[in-house]
A = this chain, B = another copy of it.
Amino acid sequence: MEVIVPFSTDRPKSRLSGVLDPDERAAFARAMLRDVLDAVAAADGDPRVLATGPVGADLPCPVDVDERPLTPAVNAALDARVGGDGDGDPDPVAVVMADLALATPDALRELFAAGREADIAIAPGRGGGTNAFVAADPAFRVDYHGASYLDHRRIAADAGLSVDVVDSNRLATDVDEPADLAELLIHDEADDGESRAARWLRDAGFGLDATDGRVGVVRE
């Protein structure tokens, strides 16, 4: 299955600006992207980065550049693949966000399998986002503004499309805010992981901090 991985090269991960400077954010975002691409490939997906500009890294897959915002860029990519002007039913295509640094091949396999059965498979993100989906129907359009998970459910329902929701903590965890960094370190430690993004964080001096309530991070 072709898997589009959107990646923003201008001001990536701005909500981490309180803990990482711009160059660090760019490097950390690229580390997460590489982890996602590896997980997609390990789940037998064919990754393809959809970037807003040159990524500045040697990636193991093709890169398409589309300078537009996320919503029109993804809709154009969907149009090109499942737009309905080919012969027969189009193959489903997946869209997986580049900051799903916890994504495992197992979780992605479940997503891809769900997307072969239902018209639309969606992995909701924390806070109402749409972290990953699979679509094969030209009637499905994305709108990433606001609570996109609810909007995408409505768009699918209005078009009469069947929806399967993939219940995965790994896919629900997009790394956007400082608290999310703890998730990366926790799961990497628990699984004796080899995540590039977690290694990047540790090399930058981040560690877990359990001094109050939910575990967070501190930087040396």
| A167:B107 contact, CB within 8 angstroms | yes
Per the bound structure, the CA–CA distance linking A107 and B110 in Å amounts to 14
A118 within 8 A of B: no
Q: How far, in Å, is A78 (CB) from chain B's closest CB?
A: 21
Contacting B at CB under 8 A, from A159-201, are 165, 167-172, 176-177, 179, 182-183, 186-187, 189-191
A218 within 8 A of B: no
Most buried by B among A104, A106, A186, A187: A186
| A215:B104 contact, CB within 8 angstroms | no
Per the bound structure, the CA–CA distance linking A139 and B214 in Å amounts to 26
Residue of B nearest to A163 (CB): B190
A149 within 8 A of B: yes
| A127:B214 contact, CB within 8 angstroms | yes
Per the bound structure, the CA–CA distance linking A208 and B213 in Å amounts to 25
| A147:B208 contact, CB within 8 angstroms | yes
| A190:B153 contact, CB within 8 angstroms | yes
A6 within 8 A of B: no
A19 within 8 A of B: no
Given contacts A167-B104, A215-B147, contact A183 B126 (CB under 8 A): yes
- Chain B contacts of A167 at CB under 8 A? 104, 106-107, 168-170
Other-chain contact of A128, B147, B150, B210 (Cβ < 8 Å): B210
Q: How far, in Å, is A113 (CB) from chain B's closest CB?
A: 14
* CB pairs A–B below 8 angstroms (18 shown): A104-B167, A124-B187, A126-B169, A127-B214, A127-B215, A128-B208, A128-B210, A128-B214, A128-B215, A146-B215, A149-B186, A150-B186, A150-B189, A153-B190, A165-B191, A167-B169, A168-B169, A176-B213
